[in-house]
Amino acid sequence: MSRKVHRTEVCADCSAPDPGWTSINRGVLICDECCSVHRSLGRHISIVKHLRHSGWPPALLQMVQTLASNGANSIWEHSLLDPAQVQSGRRKPNPQDKVHPTKSEFIRAKYQMLSFVHKLPCRDDDGVTTKDLSKQLHSSVRTGSLETCLRLLSLGAQANFFHPEKGTTPLHVASKAGQVLQAELLVVYGADPGALDINGRTPMDYARQAGQVELAERLVECQYELTDRLAFYLCGRRPGSLDLSELAKAAKKKLQALNNRLFEELAMDVYDEVDRRENDAVWLTTQNHSTLVTERSAVPFLPVNPEYSATRNQGRQKLARFNAREFATLIIDILSDAKRRQQGKGLSSPTGERGERTEDRGAEGRGMDSSDLSDGPITLQEYLEVKKALASSEAKVQQLMKVNNNLSEELRRLQKEGLKGEKHGSGTDSDYDNTQMYDSEEEGRGDSEEWGGGEGGEPDPTLPCTEDVILKTEQVTKNIQELLRAAQEFKHDSFVPCSEKIHSAVTEMASLFPKRPALDAVHCSLRLLASSASRLQVECRKAAPSDPSAPAVDYQLLTQQVIQCAYDIAKAAKQLVTITTREKKQ
């Protein structure tokens, strides 16, 4: 399957040439800079994938490219085509415009606020209703006009609309007509591949009856997208061995105690976190680190979804704190518990021979009905065997090392920006930090508060001066650089002394701050700093086992864990510099 994009394509948001990313649910191609803003909006606004480096089902890629080449962007920019808008000064950004605030403000208005979408004229009564739009969608999906259906969906048509007279959903109609791309679009917008018509038949039944075998198979894939993708993430990312600690066992019991609704929500949230981490991996390997990988373009945790409660948004953001092994353990526990729930077993029943395929309702990991879980062809044991085999892949480790080689460069840049902010004060472009992308959120900010501490308040007098924090950060950075060089050169005997130096530097940095800081952001960053430094020491000691009879050390896996710890330390230090600089400016 070819993934090439015509070189004449331009970014839908700023017209930059040769866009490398796409927003699947908007049907547009976007450049790297605009993609950084799309990712900060969250998957409920824009679902992004890289055109060449992400995994693509062929029909889904064809659907996106068809929409992009047939003017889907005009749906989202309808009113901008009006000459009066040009006269009023309203325009879309140019490639040379700054990401913040010019491009980011335009993109938020375009996709989050839907400021430029065509507004339907009102009738004498209540205007065009959602039911009217949904009936039009129900009829339109039997044709090949993707952009017409996208326009209806943008106006509020429901992808899961059940037609009261015809007894079917739009996905039934598209499947019967063999409209593969329409089916892809409907699923992206939440259509349920397992929905039943008035006679109890699914869209897959309709496709098979119409002789559309490939479409029927694709709908099955969509139905089980959630657990299949979680399993693929485990296999492809070599997260390490299972966590069998008492803490992990206690967490598994809590997972089993969740009711079905909360379990479904957790599975959906973990799916979104997998998507965020996979896009992060693509992002880090494709960007120019000297210009784009900064706090302003980072998506450090799942953005707030205003449709969810504050508690759920906080839980979603905390998933970013899980290290590779912890996150892998959570995924496997979810897959195992999905089977237990499907089979109706009690908490004491054994789990574990098969990883279940769990029905996924909607756009790449939406709802999941535990009553519809069924046996999948891939076993949990097979997941672990593939994962173990991938642990020996030198290419994977080299790619990881390449990504993390940029860590010291990022830290140096942060220090320079911090000093620049001290000298120049507010009102400059350097004032955009990693809290900027959440400034417009009012509810459920959760852990996003931990990155700043709020705006408009009084400065915290207990915080140390920024220069002292930066000096200590430089010492931490220097020691991390030494550790990374040792990892690159396979000098595993240097791990322990390097980790001790880092721990000492971290302790000195933490001593600058009060034991009980007033800001939750400072408290959380200090806690991450200390725990990561301690975990680093534990991991590094594995490089020099004292027991000769101990199993052979998997240095590739160990190196990955060491780098992950070092990255967490650097991230916490960056947070403290950002918070301190921000507070001192107030």
Per-residue pLDDT of the chain (586 residues; tens, 9 = 90+): 444 444 468 999 999 999 999 999 999 999 999 999 999 999 999 999 999 988 899 999 999 999 999 999 999 999 887 766 655 557 789 999 999 889 999 999 999 999 999 877 655 455 568 899 999 999 999 999 999 999 999 999 999 999 999 999 999 999 999 999 999 999 999 999 999 999 999 999 999 999 999 999 999 888 878 777 777 777 653 333 445 566 667 777 778 888 888 888 898 999 999 888 888 888 777 765 444 444 455 678 898 888 888 888 888 988 988 887 788 888 888 888 877 777 665 544 333 333 333 333 333 333 333 333 333 333 444 444 444 444 433 344 444 444 444 544 554 555 555 445 444 443 333 222 232 222 333 333 333 333 333 444 455 677 888 888 888 888 888 888 888 888 777 788 889 999 999 999 999 999 999 888 888 888 888 988 988 898 898 888 888 777 676 677 777 778 777 887 887 888 888 888 888 877 766 5
Residue type, 234: L
pLDDT at residue 88, as a whole number: 56
Which domains, from first to last, does the chain contain? 21-112 (1.10.220.150), 127-235 (1.25.40.20), 247-342 (no CATH), 466-584 (1.20.120.330)
Question: Token digits for 420?
Answer: 């620049």
User: The tokens 């119409």 sit on which residue?
Assistant: 210
User: The tokens 């480790």 sit on which residue?
Assistant: 397
pLDDT at residue 196, as a whole number: 93
Q: pTM of this prediction?
A: 0.56
How many other C-beta atoms are found inside a 10 Å radius of the C-beta of residue 395?
Answer: 8
| Cα–Cα distance measured from residue 28 to residue 33, given in angstroms and rounded to the nearest whole number | 14
Name residues whose C-beta falls within 8 Å of residue 561's C-beta, 6 or more positions apart in sequence.
240, 323, 324, 325, 539
> Do residues 426 and 556 touch, judged by C-beta distance below 8 A?
no
- Which of 7, 44, 51 has its CA nearest to residue 28? 51
b/e map 397-433, b = 16+ CB within 10 Å: beebeebbeebbebbebbbebbeebbeeeeeeebbbb
Q: Is 554 exposed, middle or buried (0-12, 13-18, 19+ CB in 10 A)?
A: middle
User: The tokens 């020691």 sit on which residue?
Assistant: 479
pLDDT at residue 86, as a whole number: 56
Rounded to the nearest 10 degrees, the angle between the axes of helix 555-585 and helix 495-511 is 20
Distance in angstroms between the alpha carbons of the first and the last residue of the chain: 54
DSSP string, 297-365: T---SPPP-TTS-HHHHHHHHHGGG--HHHHHHHHHHHHHHHHHHHHT--TTS---SBPPB----STTS
CA angle 389, 394, 395 (to 5 degrees): 105
Rounded to 5, what percent of the chain is helix, strand, coil? 60, 5, 40
**What's the length of the chain?**
586
